[in-house]
Amino acid sequence: MNKLLLFFALLLIPFILKAQNKAIIKGQIIDSLTNTPIEFATIAVLDTRDTTSTLLAYTLSDKTGNFNLHNLPSGIPLKVLISFVAYKPYRKLFILKKAETLDLGNISVSAKLMNEVLIKGERMPIVVRKDTIEFDAEAFKTRPNAVVEDLLKKLPGIEVANDGIVTVQGKTVTKILVDGREFFVNDPRIATKNLDADMIAKVQVYDDRENDPNHRIPTNLLNKIINLKFKKVLKKSLFGKVYGGGGTQEHYQAGTLINLFRDTLQVSLLGLTNNLNSTGFDFNDLYTLGGIDRGGDALSGASGFGREVVGKAATTLAGVNINNDYRKGLKLNFAYLYTRLKSELDTRNNNQRFIGDTTLITASANDRITTSNKHSISSTLTYKPDVNHSLTYTPTVNITEDFTTRTNTGNSYSNFINPINQSVSNYNFPNKNFRFQQAFKYNQTLGNGSAITIDHNLEISPASNVESESQALTSYLSSFPSYAYQRKTYARAKNNDASVTINYFKPLFKKLNADVTLNLDYNTLADKLSAYNYNPVTGLYDSVLVATNHDLKRTKFIEAITPGIAYTFPHEIILNAHLLMQFQQVNNIFNRNSADIDQNFVNLLPNISLNAGNFSASYNKGLNLPNIGDMVPYSVVFNPLYTVTGNPYLKPTTTNNFNLSYNKYNYQTGVNYNVSAGAVFEQNTIFRQLTIDENLAETSTPINRNGRHSYSLSGRYTKGLKKRNGFQFSASTSGNVYLMHDFYILNYQNGYQNNINATLSQQFSANWKDIIEFDPQYTLTGYRTAYTGINNNKQTFLMHNFYIHFMVYWPAHMNLEGNYNYFHNPMLPAGFQRNSNLLSLSLARQFLKKDRGELKLSCYDILNQNIGTTRQITENSISDVQSQVIKRYFMLTLQFKFNKSVSVGDAK
What's the pLDDT tens digit per position in 181-206? 887 666 788 888 888 898 899 999 99
Average pLDDT, the chain: 87
Lowest mean pLDDT among 2-6, 218-222, 422-426, 774-778: 2-6
- Asked if 743 and 752 count as a contact pair (C-beta separation under 8 A), the reply is yes
- Asked if 364 and 346 count as a contact pair (C-beta separation under 8 A), the reply is no
SS3 percent helix, strand, coil of the chain, rounded to 5, is 5, 65, 30
Euclidean distance between CA atoms 589 and 261, whole angstroms: 55
DSSP letter assigned to residue 4:
H
Q: How far apart are the first and last CA of the chain?
A: 55
pLDDT digits (tens, 9 = 90+) for 736-748: 999 999 998 888 8
Mean pLDDT of 390-395: 96
DSSP letter assigned to residue 151:
H
- Which residue in 777, 719, 785 sits closest to 758, CA to CA? 785
Q: Provide CB contacts within 8 A for 331, sequence distance 6+.
A: 181, 323, 324, 325, 380, 381, 382, 383
Q: Provide the phi-psi class of 547: left if phi over 0, else alpha when psi is between -120 and 50, else beta.
A: alpha
Residue 117 has pLDDT above 80, yes or no: no
Lowest mean pLDDT among 82-86, 576-580, 785-789, 826-830: 826-830
Residue 121: HSE in the Cβ half-sphere, 13 Å Cα cutoff: 3
Mean pLDDT of 657-686: 93
Torsion of CA 323, 324, 325, 326, to 10 degrees: -150
Mean pLDDT of 698-716: 96
Domain boundaries, the chain: 23-238, 284-313+711-908, 546-560+572-707
What is the band of 214 on the pLDDT scale with cuts at 50, 70, 90? confident
pLDDT digits (tens, 9 = 90+) for 224-240: 999 999 887 766 888 88
- Whether the upstream peptide bond of residue 652 has omega within 30° of 0, thus cis, is no
Q: Provide the phi-psi class of 408: left if phi over 0, else alpha when psi is between -120 and 50, else beta.
A: beta
Residue 115 has pLDDT above 60, yes or no: no
Lowest mean pLDDT among 43-57, 192-206, 443-457, 661-675: 43-57
Residue 720 has pLDDT above 50, yes or no: yes
Residue 758 has pLDDT above 90, yes or no: yes
What is the band of 16 on the pLDDT scale with cuts at 50, 70, 90? very low
3 state SS for 528-539: EEEEEEEECCCC
What is the band of 459 on the pLDDT scale with cuts at 50, 70, 90? very high
SS3 892: strand
- pLDDT computed for residue 493 by the predictor: 96
CATH code of the domain occupying 23-238: 2.60.40.10
pLDDT digits (tens, 9 = 90+) for 838-883: 999 999 999 998 889 999 999 999 999 887 788 787 777 888 888 8
- Which residue in 241, 267, 146, 239 sits closest to 899, CA to CA? 239
What is the band of 122 on the pLDDT scale with cuts at 50, 70, 90? low
Residue 558 has pLDDT above 50, yes or no: yes
- pLDDT computed for residue 903 by the predictor: 53
- Whether the upstream peptide bond of residue 419 has omega within 30° of 0, thus cis, is yes
Q: Is the Cα torsion angle 863, 864, 868, 871 positive or negative in sign?
A: negative
Euclidean distance between CA atoms 27 and 23, whole angstroms: 14
DSSP letter assigned to residue 633:
S
Euclidean distance between CA atoms 150 and 136, whole angstroms: 14
Looking at mean pLDDT, say which of 275-279, 290-294, 832-836 comes out highest: 832-836
pLDDT digits (tens, 9 = 90+) for 172-182: 999 999 888 88
SS3 282: coil
Residue 306 has pLDDT above 70, yes or no: no
Residue 33 class from Cβ within 10 Å (0-12 exposed, 13-18 middle, 19+ buried)? Answer: exposed
- pLDDT computed for residue 782 by the predictor: 92
- Higher-pLDDT residue of 385 and 112 is 385
Residue 222 has pLDDT above 80, yes or no: yes
Residue 566 has pLDDT above 80, yes or no: yes
What is the band of 129 on the pLDDT scale with cuts at 50, 70, 90? confident
Residue 478 has pLDDT above 70, yes or no: yes
**In Å, what is the CA distance from 227 to each residue of 133, 198, 208?**
10, 15, 11
Q: What are phi and psi of 98, to 5 degrees?
A: -60, 130
- Asked if 270 and 316 count as a contact pair (C-beta separation under 8 A), the reply is no
Q: Provide CB contacts within 8 A for 744, sequence distance 6+.
A: 750, 751, 752, 753, 787, 789, 790, 792, 875, 876
Q: Provide CB contacts within 8 A for 35, sequence distance 6+.
A: none
Euclidean distance between CA atoms 383 and 393, whole angstroms: 9
Query: Strands of 42-47's sheet, edge to edge?
Result: 54-60, 42-47, 77-83, 90-95
Report percent pLDDT > 70 for the chain.
Answer: 91
**In Å, what is the CA distance from 641 to each residue of 77, 415, 428, 549, 696?**
79, 20, 21, 17, 7
DSSP H helices, 569-695, are: none
Euclidean distance between CA atoms 247 and 236, whole angstroms: 37
Q: Provide the phi-psi class of 871: left if phi over 0, else alpha when psi is between -120 and 50, else beta.
A: beta
DSSP string, 350-373: EEEEEETTEEEEEEEEEEEEEEEE
What is the band of 295 on the pLDDT scale with cuts at 50, 70, 90? very low
- pLDDT computed for residue 867 by the predictor: 79
Euclidean distance between CA atoms 93 and 91, whole angstroms: 7
Residue 905 has pLDDT above 50, yes or no: no
What is the band of 278 on the pLDDT scale with cuts at 50, 70, 90? low
Q: Provide CB contacts within 8 A for 434, sequence distance 6+.
A: 397, 398, 399, 400, 460, 461, 462, 463
Euclidean distance between CA atoms 83 and 80, whole angstroms: 10
Q: What are phi and psi of 633, to 5 degrees?
A: -85, 40
Q: Provide CB contacts within 8 A for 94, sequence distance 6+.
A: 25, 77, 78, 79, 80, 102
- pLDDT computed for residue 721 by the predictor: 66
pLDDT digits (tens, 9 = 90+) for 496-526: 999 999 999 999 998 999 999 999 999 999 9
